[in-house]
Amino acid sequence: NAGVTQTPKFRVLKTGQSMTLLCAQDMNHEYMYWYRQDPGMGLRLIHYSVGEGTTAKGEVPDGYNVSRLKKQNFLLGLESAAPSQTSVYFCASSYSGSATEQYFGPGTRLTVT
Amino acid sequence: KNQVEQSPQSLIILEGKNCTLQCNYTVSPFSNLRWYKQDTGRGPVSLTIMTFSENTKSNGRYTATLDADTKQSSLHITASQLSDSASYICVVRLTGANNLFFGTGTRLTVIP
């Protein structure tokens, strides 16, 4: 099992450009999450999904969109990147939403200039 | 306001020594508390998870304690190794929701 994988690992964007971050999991998990991690702050939830075809907003959803067309994939889109979106993005998945742990991917480091 | 605070922010210890990391939270109603280890440049990896009724849980040299009355948790690392150098993150789940509240972590450095 590869677990949770993320592509790309690194990316540099110019302000106004768009991009999509891909997250894939091979554990047949129902729940998937996108977080961002900034220096001096805890991970913050951007969007999450409780199953194929569903998405919901987290704590900091503005400027991001997501899609869950397939159970194993969760895409995070930035339509018009801003320097404030410079961050490390982590995808996670879990079997259910209650007590089960979340499994995290290795992260994507995004810089917006 | 639901918050998770960790202390110290950073810690340096000698290899072989023990250490204890602290987590205080105000998240309510509380469902469970998790400790994660995050190596530099990697995603967090779960160490322990405790529900309201559990007050201690071990994972090898890692032992987590929970006092739900005072809303405090600690992570004790025994006989530290160089590979323990990482950030340790306390995470609290709100009951009945998908909300997780993350602490900012304690950066532990183990030196030879």
Residues of A in contact with B105 (CB under 8 A): 42
Residue of B nearest to A49 (CA): B98
The one-letter amino acid at A90 = F
Interface contact flag, A99 B105, Cβ < 8 Å: no
To the nearest whole angstrom, how far is the Cα of B75 from the nearest Cα of chain A? 17
SS3 sequence, chain A?
CCCEEEECCEEEECCCCCEEEEEEECCCCCEEEEEEECCCCCCEEEEEECCCCCCEECCCCCCCEEECCCCCEEEEEECCCCHHHCEEEEEEEECCCCCCCCEECCCEEEEEC
Q: What is the pLDDT of residue B84?
A: 98
How would you write the pLDDT of chain A (113 residues) with one tens digit per residue? 789 999 999 999 999 999 999 999 999 999 999 999 998 888 999 999 999 999 999 989 999 999 999 999 999 999 999 999 999 999 999 988 765 788 999 999 999 99
Give me A85's structure tokens.
Answer: 């979106």
CB contact under 8 A, A42 and B89: yes
Residue pointed to by tokens 């007050």: B55
Q: Does A36 touch chain B (CB under 8 A)?
A: no
